């Protein structure tokens, strides 16, 4: 089944959202998702977007357009979800202690990087993430295949979402910042695929294939299997938000067959690996 149609019209930033809603759970079959998003979940997301459509922004974000703010708030949701995901992998997943040290260090570093992204975005909007707890597929942090399938699925979504920012942000500084963050999410996707081959036999490894958001099992060798980043044909940030609904809304999680145990977002002060990789300015210099 073809899940993404590159020839679909994209005259509006919000066209194509229905395609995303119909197809997400087929793409996410690797993590036990269903084929529909609960209406209450869409209502919850609408409550996030509606104030932005009415032009409400914080004083600290006075220079932003409403479209900029919508993208940044969506990015905060994604980064809070990423922080929660990496935190629970490194602190609760039994397989984590049995992967090589460099893999462990990648996961710890990714956790810090995602937290740094979140704080940067919050500093611009002056608003916290509207979602502070998250839901996952069953056995998310117990079964390495589920963990890595889901992690790559999320990184696929984050990459495509930041490319929406590259497309739609109103200023060059914001577009460059989105590209800089997207590059790190791409690192994370590749390194998550590296981990698959290092899963120990005790935990069912080594894994041979990992399935991301497009629902296609892909060989882990080579882990850097993209010649170009995948846009998922997303042109509006609502498509990214729709893709994240099962992770942020309990009704949508139930519809997707996820576990409805909530995992709290727990912010912390990040420490990046080297000053050379720190954020310098929105101009990137």
Using alpha carbons, select from 85, 64, 228, 253 the residue that is nearest to residue 155: 85
Angle between helices 39-53 and 66-92 (to 10 degrees): 130
Please tell me what DSSP assigns to residue 95: G
Residue 219 inside a domain? The answer is yes
Buried residues in 205-240 as b, exposed as e (16+ CB within 10 A): bebebbbbbbbeeeebeebeeeeebbebbbbbbbbb
What's the pLDDT at 22? 34
What's the pLDDT at 47? 52
Residue 101 inside a domain? The answer is yes
CA distance 186 to 194: 13
Residue 29 inside a domain? The answer is yes
Residue 221 inside a domain? The answer is yes
Does residue 66 sit in helix, strand or coil? helix
Count of domains for the chain: 1
Measure Cα distances from 5 to 19, 22, 101, 234 in Å.
9, 13, 41, 10
CA distance 217 to 239: 23
What's the pLDDT at 284? 86
What's the pLDDT at 283? 86
Angle between helices 172-198 and 144-168 (to 10 degrees): 160
Residue 9 inside a domain? The answer is no
Residue 283 inside a domain? The answer is no
User: pLDDT per position in the chain (285 positions), as tens?
Assistant: 232 233 333 333 323 333 333 333 333 333 333 333 333 444 455 555 554 444 444 334 448 999 999 999 999 999 999 999 999 999 999 999 999 999 999 999 999 999 999 999 999 999 999 999 999 999 999 999 999 999 999 999 999 999 999 999 999 999 999 999 999 999 999 999 999 999 999 999 999 999 999 999 999 999 999 999 999 999 999 999 999 999 999 999 999 999 999 999 999 999 999 999 999 999 888
Residue 280 inside a domain? The answer is no
What's the pLDDT at 62? 47
- Domain carrying residue 101: 17-269
Using alpha carbons, select from 280, 47, 52 the residue that is nearest to residue 173: 280
Residue 275 inside a domain? The answer is no
CA distance 220 to 24: 22
């Amino acid at each position: 089944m073809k899940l993404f149609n590159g020839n679909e019209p994209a005259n509006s930033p919000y066209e194509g959202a229905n395609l995303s809603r119909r197809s997400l759970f087929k793409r996410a079959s690797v993590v036990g998702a269903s084929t529909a998003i609960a209406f209450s979940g869409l209502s919850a997301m609408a409550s996030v977007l509606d104030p932005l459509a009415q032009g409400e922004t914080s004083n600290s974000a006075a220079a932003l357009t409403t479209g900029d703010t919508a993208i940044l708030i969506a990015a905060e949701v994604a980064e809070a979800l990423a922080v929660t995901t990496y935190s629970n992998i490194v602190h609760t997943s039994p397989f984590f202690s049995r992967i090589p040290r460099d893999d462990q260090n990648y996961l710890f570093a990714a956790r810090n990087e995602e937290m740094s992204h979140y704080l940067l975005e919050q500093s611009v909007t002056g608003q916290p993430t509207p979602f502070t707890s998250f839901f996952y597929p069953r056995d998310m942090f117990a079964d390495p295949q589920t963990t890595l399938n889901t992690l790559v699925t999320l990184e696929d979504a984050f990459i495509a979402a930041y490319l929406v920012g590259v497309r739609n942000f109103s200023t060059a500084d914001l577009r460059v910042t989105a590209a800089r963050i997207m590059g790190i999410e791409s690192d994370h996707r590749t390194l998550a695929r590296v981990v698959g081959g290092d899963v120990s036999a005790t935990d069912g490894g080594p894994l041979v294939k990992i399935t991301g958001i497009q629902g296609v099992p892909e060989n882990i060798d080579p882990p850097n299997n993209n010649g170009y980043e995948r846009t998922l044909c997303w042109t509006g940030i609502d498509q990214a938000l729709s893709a994240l609904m099962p992770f942020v809304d309990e009704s949508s999680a139930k519809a997707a067959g996820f576990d409805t145990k909530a995992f709290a977002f727990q912010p912390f002060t990040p420490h990046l690996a080297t000053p050379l990789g720190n954020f310098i300015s929105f101009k990137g210099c």
